[in-house]
Amino acid sequence: MTIAIYNSLTGAKEELQPLEPGRVRMYVCGITAYDYSHIGHARSAVIFDVIVRWLRHRGLKVEFARNFTDVDDKIIRRAKAEGADPLALADRFIQEYGREMDSLGVLRADVEPRATGHIPEIIALTGRLIASGHAYAAGGDVYFAVTSWPGYGELSRKNLEELQAGVRVEPGEHKRNPLDFALWKASKPGEPVWQSPWGPGRPGWHIECSAMSMKYLGESFDIHGGGKDLIFPHHENERAQSEAATGKPFVRYWVHNGLVTVNHEKMSKSLGNFITVADALKEYSAEALRLFMLSAHYRSPVDYSAQSMREATQALGRLYGAYAVARQDGGEGKVGESKVNEAALKKGEKAVWEELKPLPQSFAEAMDDDFNTARAIGYLFDAARAVNKLPPASPQRANLLGHARDMLAEAGGVLGILQEDPQAYLERERAEHLKEVNLTLEMLRERIEGRTRAREEKDFARSDAIRAELAERYGIELRDYPGGTEWGVKR
């Protein structure tokens, strides 16, 4: 087993070789808790959720930490506007984030530290940086001296001279260099405050992640993740201050996910296209959202729109439809117990088996190749097509469908989809569709019965007209079986 992982620091895919064999330590930057989470937060959470699931599926022990920033300028401003306590406001949004991620099927991290719970560690790390000459105190603030660390800019591929040309010192700051960034901020009236050797104040944004990740994962660990928007300045600054303090490589693999646009525009409250997770879940199912977010490679952007979500919902329905057939006709054996007698396969069965047999390995290869969910999901649809090709009277139908069922169940568990009972999902989908097209179940049954009578009377023109009306006007597809006619939502 070889897992390739793209490293933002080197700009190349590399073989995943954990610092400790069999054990992966991973840290992902969580939210700054000053507002409701949006679909960009959700995509990052879903992507790293799937990465953790796959690494564990491959037999690795994963220790996963995801933080919360619960003291920050944005939190303080929002709390002041609402007349609320900043820490209470942050806690409210952290709790809401947890509920939303639970709804999306995102597994909780092993540890979810908050900045305010790690003030001693932040102060200690800041002290180390001052003692080593990489930071300095000025006017109650403490700043990291960017030019003291020669590797600054390597992660983001930014040139120091270019950066300096576009930065200025804000009023009230005591920096020696405009690029220097705050490790500790002197207290201001009305802000949360803690005592420190440099006076009362609160931590800067970047130092908290270094302090918390080191506490739970060590001074060097395997994977650090987050959105591409965090590469600079947040992750650049994290790397600089951590390696300056310890003299060791901070992170082995830097992993960054692509961002979400809305109707091909950057998401922004000013543009009126700010989509919260809660609002998205009112319109679409959690699994449809997951499928949408995983439908492109994690390093690529995805565009959220009514059309893209409609396509994701329809695609999920196709998978559930095939999964329902595979579950129903695939026998009662446990996952992995389906045995196909290849020598006894009939002609039609052999073609289906040639499609189904390689899919589990193909799925694994896609996931091992830098967690390529886009390609991996394609293999689920290959399985669905194979299921639908299999003739109803095939002698080895149960064994073949059992193989498809196992593949869909295993892959669905990694991706966090197909987690419902498929029959229950399809029944709910059908009920919602009938309501949407303003057609009652009784009216539909009357049309199906009318078509059945027309077929018995060999009035195929009337039979075809009923089928065409249901498809074109109501988006309903009819499927004829030896025992009767079933209906479903047209894909």
Same-domain pairing of 471 and 413: no
Which has more pLDDT, 1 or 318?
A: 318
> Given CA atoms 278, 283, 285, 287 in this order, what sign does their dihedral have?
negative
| pLDDT for residue 335 | 46
- 118 plus 21 within the same structural domain: yes
Dihedral sign, Cα of residue 413, residue 365, residue 391, residue 333: negative
Q: Over 50: is that where the pLDDT of 334 sits?
A: no
pLDDT tens, position by position, 37-61:
999 999 999 999 999 999 999 999 9
CA trace torsion 208, 211, 216, 219 (10° rounding): 140
Q: What tens digit of pLDDT does each residue of 137-147 get?
A: 999 999 999 99
What would the two tokens of residue 210 be? Answer: 């270094």
Same domain, 177 and 279: yes
For tokens 């009377």, the residue is 457
The secondary structure of 105-125 as a DSSP string is: TPPPPSB--BGGGGHHHHHHH
pLDDT higher than 80, residue 397: yes
In a domain, 432, yes or no: no
pLDDT, position 128:
98
Q: pLDDT for 60-73, tens place per residue? A: 999 999 999 999 99
Domain extent for 454: 437-489
Say which amino acid occupies 209: C
Domain with residue 405: its CATH number is 1.20.120.640
Residues 32 and 102 in one domain: yes
- Same structural domain, 108 and 51: yes
Question: What 3-state DSSP class applies to 97?
Answer: helix
Percent of the chain predicted with pLDDT > 70: 96
Domain endpoint, select from 238, 256, 283: 283
CATH number at residue 270: 3.40.50.620
Residue 77: other Cβ atoms inside 10 A: 12
CA distance 254 to 216: 18
pLDDT in tens, 278-302: 999 999 999 999 999 999 999 999 9
How many distinct structural domains can be found in the chain?
Answer: 3
Answer yes or no: is 427 within a domain: no
Is 17 in the same domain as 151?
yes
Within this chain, do residues 441 and 415 fall inside the same structural domain, yes or no? no
Kindly report, residue by residue over 405-458, the tens digit of the pLDDT.
999 999 999 999 999 999 999 999 899 889 989 998 898 899 988 898 989 889
Are 162 and 259 part of one and the same domain? yes
pLDDT of res. 421: 95
How does strand 141-144 pair with strand 135-138? Answer: antiparallel
The pLDDT of 367-381, averaged and rounded, is: 98
Q: Is 297 within a domain?
A: no
On whether both 190 and 263 belong to a single domain, the answer is yes
Helix (H) or strand (E) holding 223: strand 221-227
Concatenated DSSP letters for 353-408?
HHHHTTHHHHHHHHHHBT--HHHHHHHHHHHHHHHHHS-TT-TTHHHHHHHHHHHH
Distance CA 122, CA 202 (A): 10
Boundary-marking domain end, from 232, 256, 283: 283
Residues 147 and 32 in one domain: yes
Q: Is residue 293 part of a domain?
A: no
Tokens at 111, concatenated: 């540890």
Which class for 251: exposed (0-12), middle (13-18), buried (19 or more C-beta within 10 A)? Answer: buried
Domain end residue (candidates: 366, 390, 422): 422
pLDDT at 337 over 60: no
Instruction: Please check whether residues 328 and 446 belong to one and the same domain.
Output: no
Residues 79 and 213 in one domain: yes
Mean pLDDT value of segment 476-488: 82
